[in-house]
Structure 1
């Protein structure tokens, strides 16, 4: 049967749904590698043509937005009115129907070596490393994964953008633990990130200004191996607590970056792309020049230490095709690389607004285009 609407022509619809139902929808859609809007579309279509269903508890519902093909929204409202139920109840029943018809096909990946380690880095500043690290971590946690997000940049942009305070210079910190200058459990520094559908599964290890000293102190250490292994020695004790550890790196080619790259290496029991480097770039030439320097650093580290460090892929950030040939030709260059482009994040106002408000993007505007791209990136990282 031909649908009375074009699947490429959609309109935004908003409903009130309970948190548990929204969360279950997002996790299931991620498991099945589907966009949320496609899952809801399938559920609504089946619900309209099916029999009446038991009521869904929608008490305590909060705003949920998605996009339905033009024409389907009006059919949903008409069907809800005919069945003498509210529009919100019709949406909830449609989602419940889709969930029941599409059971979970897999559980969380088996972790043979603790958490999977994702290092987000590029030598160039301003390419969106922090927004990609934060967005991917939020999306992974939204999918049901337990995620630790580490602000490894002494500038602390990630910490401040999420509304948290940097650790005091005299306080215990990640850098002090790496240098053996701190006592106690590293876990005491973790803070839960609130908001959205990722609560209770996402934690932040905030930045501390003492990280500016890390490169110099690593350079003068007497231990031959501590320069590269310092980060891993500290984090290995918490890996079993998490499914993913996401490290937001500074724009640096120094020893600090060496420790992060070494931490992302492929371990003996891992598949090559379980852990590795994710490189945010922009569709312009300077990102490519910066990546060339980073690639040389990776090659040198692999040769010196006899390890394998995989570039999982690129994220083309702040993309705007209206910039013409510079943007489109640069995007083609990234897409022609051996490593895949994991996502293309558009230049839109929602990310800037979330930063201004010091809120996580997927809590502030969970249904914007940038949030949907972050979920798509997370699905590719979660395979």
Structure 2
């Protein structure tokens, strides 16, 4: 199972929207896809139509070893897309695990049993705490949604430093799958300037596709479905389909042969 952490410590950059729609696109290509909601806000769970009443088990239970992976998985409305939902209990897991052995490897150990799926996306919280570190330790690679705004590169540098620390201490094989520019406003010269700066800094690591600001992307979660299902012809959905093609092209061959 290929594991991809969707991470950026800044909030509001489109991590959850990216996670949901890329997971949907991967499932649509035939991949058996697992999305793990690792954010205490649980937005990925809500955005896939999984109510709080359906979250008997969650990613919190996985990290605290109260259940196995299969017990926490919930089927979504999207064929071949399963979800491990999140609850607010996750907000206290860092304190609960502070003295625990191998606390940074809890998710890695859990995913070692995930033979049912071809690919796993991990929607990280907007922080660089223990939850995100668990995701980075467990992941093969990192996908970074990056909002096209003035402070984007500053926040990115902090994330890259964290990735280097995780690589040095825990996961030497961790790589950056790509950086996806989100909330791009073609009417705003600043968006184009930020995009140019990011590409000049990171080169081919940045995906060609940019995700535009689009009201349909914002509306979809309130209906409990991905934007790709809510309105597959809107500019946001079309952009995520294009981004998914790029992502698949960067994945190891076995993942696209499933």
Gaps of 5+ in 1: 1-114, 265-274
2:180 alignment partner in structure 1? 315
Bigger Rg, which one:
1
Cα offset, 1:342, TM superposition: 5.0
Cα offset, 1:343, TM superposition: 2.3
1:268 alignment partner in structure 2? none
Q: Distance in 2 between matches of 1:356 and 1:172?
A: 23
On the 8 A contact 1:167/1:206 being kept in 2, the answer is no
Cα offset, 1:167, TM superposition: 6.3
Equivalent in 67, 76, 82 of residue 193 of structure 1: 76
2:228 alignment partner in structure 1? 362
Cα offset, 1:179, TM superposition: 2.1
Cα 1:153–1:342 shift into 2, 3 Å: farther
2:21 alignment partner in structure 1? 135
Within-5 A mapping of 1:155-304: 155-166=41-52, 171-180=56-65, 182-183=66-67, 185-194=68-77, 199-221=78-100, 223=101, 226-238=102-114, 240-264=115-139, 275-304=140-169
2:4 maps to 1:118: yes
Q: CA RMSD in A?
A: 1.8
On the 8 A contact 1:148/1:245 being kept in 2, the answer is yes
Cα 1:356–1:172 shift into 2, 3 Å: closer
On the 8 A contact 1:321/1:328 being kept in 2, the answer is yes
Structure number with higher relative contact order (C-alpha < 8 Å, ≥ 6 residues apart)? 2
Gaps of 5+ in 2: 250-258
Q: Distance in 2 between matches of 1:157 and 1:306?
A: 28
Select between 229-238 and 281-290 the one with higher mean Cα deviation.
281-290
TM-score for both structures, normalised by structure 1: 0.61
SS in 1 for 2:98: helix
Q: How many residues align?
A: 247
On the 8 A contact 1:128/1:317 being kept in 2, the answer is yes
**Which runs of structure 1 show a deviation greater than 4 angstroms over 4 or more consecutive aligned residues?**
none
Cα offset, 1:353, TM superposition: 1.8
SS in 2 for 1:219: coil
1:64 alignment partner in structure 2? none
2:219 maps to 1:353: yes
On the 8 A contact 2:47/2:224 being kept in 1, the answer is yes
2:151 maps to 1:151: no
TM-score for both structures, normalised by structure 2: 0.89
On the 8 A contact 1:163/1:358 being kept in 2, the answer is yes
On the 8 A contact 1:178/1:231 being kept in 2, the answer is yes
On the 8 A contact 1:313/1:342 being kept in 2, the answer is no
On the 8 A contact 1:167/1:209 being kept in 2, the answer is no
Cα offset, 1:168, TM superposition: 8.1
Partner deviation per Cα, 1:321-380 (whole Å, 9 max, x = no partner): 2122x2111010122214222520111121112123222211111122221221222222
